[in-house]
Structure 1
Amino acid sequence: MHDRHTRRFGLGTATALVMGNIIGGGIFLLPASVAPFGTVSLVAFGVLTLGAIALALVFGRLAERHPDTGGPYVYAREAFGDFAGFLSAWSYWTMTWVSNAALAVAAVGYVHVLFPGHASRGVDLMVALGALWLPALANFAGTRYVGAVQMVSTVLKFVPLLFIAVVGLFFFDPHKLGAFHEGGGSTLGGLSAAAAILLYSYVGVESAAMSAGEVRNPERNVGRATVLGTVGAAVVYLLGTLSVFGTVAHDKLVNSKAPFSDAVDAMFGGHWGGTVIAAAAVISIIGALNGWTLMSAQSPYAAAKDGLFPAAFLTKRRGVPTFGVLAAAVLASALTVINYFLGTGGVFEILVLITTFSATVPYLLAAGAQIYFLLSGRRDKVRPARFARDLTLAVVAFGFTFWLVAGAGYAAIYQGVLFLFAGILVYALMAARRGRRPTVSEDATEGAQGAETASVEAAGNAPADAAVPPVPAAS
């Protein structure tokens, strides 16, 4: 039973949560990042979009079966048990607060464009910490404020990006495109190389499923919001990249530090594009941090309900697990301080690599859970006519996520696995604690066994000539 403070997210807000979490700050550099591979990167983007939509549909189907807060954690635990559920929650939690620190640091660069001039390390740190704690304060205020901030920020960043993407098509010049495949090697190699950079563009498709407990009519709206949000992000990604490719000369785009700004300048002249795009980037990052701050609390909250995370994560106010928000903000802040004052020393980069692998663990387990539910005969709420389609989507989603793992690179997988295995110690401690506390069912069982033993002993100690009540005859 949900309290009166929950389920404040309608379809529009849930869609904004998905879209806002997918579109962070990376999109503003994305066209320049893939330009060296040629226009084959657009094909890679299209293939990835199909995989992301398949994953989104799988999350929608799973939410119909389990419309509870925690999303991937809930599905993994239901299908494969406590340990798989814990690994999903631990990986997702790690990914959220580390990536929040990375987003906050990225925001500082765009703030410099808006307010040029010399800035000290201390000022940069204050800006980064402000980017972390302003969304945290919105989360402390409750899901109503989280939803409001998410809706406004998503509109404010989606409209200008879509405007550039659509208007750019009218300025499109095919001569500015590079070759279909730039550089040496095969076309397939270029496709894979571009895909490796683009793979994590769609991390966030699970956002509505993760907050299903706060979504009104989740069986219906979570799936719709997931697909709508993913498709909306895909439109901005694909059209935006295509427009930039066709408005900025390829040799300039390869070395561009602000491709969308260069595209605006090419379309309308002047040099005001940088300011406009920097403002959109700051809004985009703050909106993403608002949504990811909520996500950082949802997974440990769901795990804590099952005794797999410390009970403190159960603290909840106005639909938001406040302790989880606080813990994530403090950890992300500590990582940000390390980045600015203790020198990176590779620490920050290593932790960011961890996030690239950690994001895939819950996805793989969720896709595997859907395959398990379908093949094990647990097809509740799945119509026979949809079985083949749902199984195909689950297999495609699993393959897409497996591709994510392969694209992460050896360093990301190595560092990510180490951090994932470190969670085993936490699981052991929590499992031992639960083992010392008998559950209600165990207490009841022991009580019943004790009563049965007492009655047997009483019967054994009764006098031999005690009257035995007659057994009623069967009717």
Structure 2
Amino acid sequence: MQDTDGTPVRRFGLPTAVALVMGNIIGGGIFLLPASVAPYGTVSLLAFGVLTVGAIALALVFGRLAERHPQTGGPYVYAREAFGDFAGFLSAWSYWTMTWVSNAALAVAGVGYFHVLAGTAPSKGTDLAIALAMLWLPALANLAGTRWVGAVQMISTVLKFLPLLFVAVVGLFYFDPKNLGHFTEGGGNWTGGLTASAAILLYSYVGVESAAMSAGEVRNPERNVGRASVLGTIGAALVYLLGTVSVFGTVPHDKLAKSTAPFSDSMDAMFGGHWGGTLIAAAAVISIVGALNGWTLMSAQSPYAAAKDGLFPAAFGRKRRGVPTVGVLAAAVLATGLTLINYVSGSGGVFNILVLVTTFSATIPYLLAAAAQVFFLLKGQREKVNPARLTRDMVLALGAFAFSFWLVAGAGYAAVYQGTLFLFVGVIVYAWMAARRPAQRPQDEAEAGAEGEATGPVLEAETVRG
């Protein structure tokens, strides 16, 4: 296979695909999660477990869908195949919106960790320069080609995974049950604490679709996309769950609930001194840069697939060295604009609204992809369904849909409201693109209809034999 510039596509192997999933799931949020959920008690660990099951179900569904459509674009491809151009466009538009807005948020979050690591004082000019460097260095790695994307992703995933896993494993040897809070804090019932903590944790697994989104760059995608999705999700879950348990057991609950650096506090509790804070800050910076590297690629893949079908401008559908360069540049420029708004104009309200948009936009492609799998299973089309695992696949699809629906509900009213408005902006873009697409000639429609009539009985006969 070749790119649009005629150069061979450089494909990701299974390890790189797993690193892409893990690297995109584990961003900067993991370093604050234990403190964020501590006020709800240890019931938050149960919430983490429930969410992990839902995320793995979604990963398995993406693997099943990739077996049938091993193409770049993932959720967009599945939604369009099942429900038509408009549903596919909404999936692509939502995902694209989420990626470049969240990239700006990641870059801004990374600035604080950088100051801890470098020992420098915050200032508006310096902070802006650091944030822009965090955006554009991964963009340059992407523009250099998939080989560089894969290399950066592998290195950053290993470098951030090792210190987190170190805290997660070694912390178990320093675990003191006296540090744990109550199962539920504040005198509430456990279901309320479960729901409240789950609302904070819901987006911890956004990124599970990364291998499916880049299926066109994965070797043997019919097999490896599903494996990478599941292995990457399990790897992230291992870090999340063990890390949170270790921090809960090494930092006293009262201190943890007020902590701004829970993993650093855990390191200090285990070994004394303050060197742990520097180590964790370095891991956080590496984690965020690695996540930005992967999400920059994701920001280009969805519009690339849509552009190939005439639903995004044609420039988004061209690749160079395996990477849709226009999509990478567009995402970097848009994220740069949001970052400038954050630091220059001080319009925090505008930036906060756009961040809320990401929490809703991330879930639309998940819902549509899970619904597409349910549609294919109910239709029972032989080329899309393996009859031997029909029941299992249906349970997984319904579980993935429920998990995605829970994500939407957990986003909150403000996120759903703002996200829906932003989604509707895409309707105008779709109308513009649909109007520019060349109409199908009557002769082509007649030929397509004749072909459908000829192949229909054959497919029906095959279904009966199956």
Length-normalised TM-score, structure 1: 0.92
Deviation sequence 1:97-151 (CA, Å, 0-9, x none): 0000000000100011012233321111000000000000000000000000000
Question: What one-letter code is carried by the residue in structure 2 that aligns with 1:278?
Answer: A
SS of the aligned residue for 1:256 comes to coil
What is the aligned partner in structure 2 of residue 17 from structure 1? 20
What is the aligned partner in structure 1 of residue 120 from structure 2? 117
2:37 to 15, 34, 50: 34
CA contact (8 A) 2:45 2:245 kept: yes
What is the aligned partner in structure 1 of residue 353 from structure 2? 350
CA distance in 2, matches of 1:424, 1:445: 26
CA contact (8 A) 1:60 1:224 kept: yes
Worse overlay, 289-298 or 343-352 = 343-352
Q: State how 1:417-436 maps to structure 2 within 5 Å.
A: 417-434=420-437
SS of the aligned residue for 1:333 comes to helix
Q: State how 1:4-403 maps to structure 2 within 5 Å.
A: 5-380=8-383, 382-403=385-406
Deviation sequence 1:64-86 (CA, Å, 0-9, x none): 00000000000000000000000
Q: Structure 1 residue 345: deviation in Å?
A: 3.8
CA distance in 1, matches of 2:186, 2:406: 23
CA distance in 2, matches of 1:444, 1:183: 67
Q: Structure 1 residue 426: deviation in Å?
A: 0.3
Question: What one-letter code is carried by the residue in structure 2 that aligns with 1:362?
Answer: P
Deviation sequence 1:364-401 (CA, Å, 0-9, x none): 00000000000012242533221100000000000001
CA contact (8 A) 2:61 2:373 kept: yes
CA contact (8 A) 1:6 1:213 kept: no
CA distance in 2, matches of 1:390, 1:357: 26
Question: What one-letter code is carried by the residue in structure 2 that aligns with 1:389?
Answer: R
Question: What one-letter code is carried by the residue in structure 2 that aligns with 1:24?
Answer: G
Worse overlay, 315-324 or 382-391 = 382-391
Question: What one-letter code is carried by the residue in structure 2 that aligns with 1:107?
Answer: G
CA distance in 1, matches of 2:282, 2:162: 13
CA contact (8 A) 2:14 2:224 kept: yes
Question: What one-letter code is carried by the residue in structure 1 that aligns with 2:439?
Answer: P
Question: What one-letter code is carried by the residue in structure 1 that aligns with 2:211?
Answer: A
What is the aligned partner in structure 2 of residue 455 from structure 1? none
SS of the aligned residue for 1:69 comes to coil
What is the aligned partner in structure 2 of residue 470 from structure 1? none
Q: Which has the larger radius of gyration?
A: 1
Question: What one-letter code is carried by the residue in structure 1 that aligns with 2:253?
Answer: H
CA distance in 2, matches of 1:167, 1:15: 24
SS of the aligned residue for 1:364 comes to helix
CA distance in 1, matches of 2:433, 2:189: 50
Question: What one-letter code is carried by the residue in structure 2 that aligns with 1:322?
Answer: T
What is the aligned partner in structure 1 of residue 439 from structure 2? 438
Worse overlay, 324-333 or 383-392 = 383-392
Worse overlay, 371-380 or 128-137 = 371-380
CA contact (8 A) 2:300 2:331 kept: yes
Q: Structure 1 residue 444: deviation in Å?
A: 5.1
Mind listing any 5+ residue stretches in structure 2 that lack a counterpart? Answer: 448-466
| Structure 1 runs (4+) greater than 4 angstroms displaced | 1-4, 441-447
SS of the aligned residue for 1:346 comes to helix
CA distance in 1, matches of 2:424, 2:445: 35
Return closer, same or farther for 1:263/1:311 CA change in 2, 3 Å cut-off: same
Deviation sequence 1:322-359 (CA, Å, 0-9, x none): 00000000000000000001113411111110000000
SS of the aligned residue for 2:186 comes to coil
Return closer, same or farther for 1:144/1:432 CA change in 2, 3 Å cut-off: same
Length-normalised TM-score, structure 2: 0.94
Question: What one-letter code is carried by the residue in structure 1 that aligns with 2:147?
Answer: R
CA contact (8 A) 1:212 1:218 kept: yes
Worse overlay, 343-352 or 257-266 = 343-352
CA contact (8 A) 2:10 2:321 kept: no
What is the aligned partner in structure 2 of residue 406 from structure 1? 409
CA distance in 1, matches of 2:285, 2:428: 38
Query: Aligned Cα RMSD in Å?
Result: 1.4
Question: What one-letter code is carried by the residue in structure 2 that aligns with 1:99?
Answer: S
Deviation sequence 1:230-264 (CA, Å, 0-9, x none): 00000000000000000000000000000000000
CA distance in 1, matches of 2:142, 2:442: 38
Deviation sequence 1:245-303 (CA, Å, 0-9, x none): 00000000000000000000001111111100000000000000000000000000000
CA distance in 2, matches of 1:119, 1:403: 38
Question: What one-letter code is carried by the residue in structure 2 that aligns with 1:317?
Answer: R
CA distance in 2, matches of 1:446, 1:71: 31
Equivalences, count: 445
Q: Structure 1 residue 184: deviation in Å?
A: 3.3
CA distance in 1, matches of 2:354, 2:187: 32
CA distance in 1, matches of 2:140, 2:103: 15
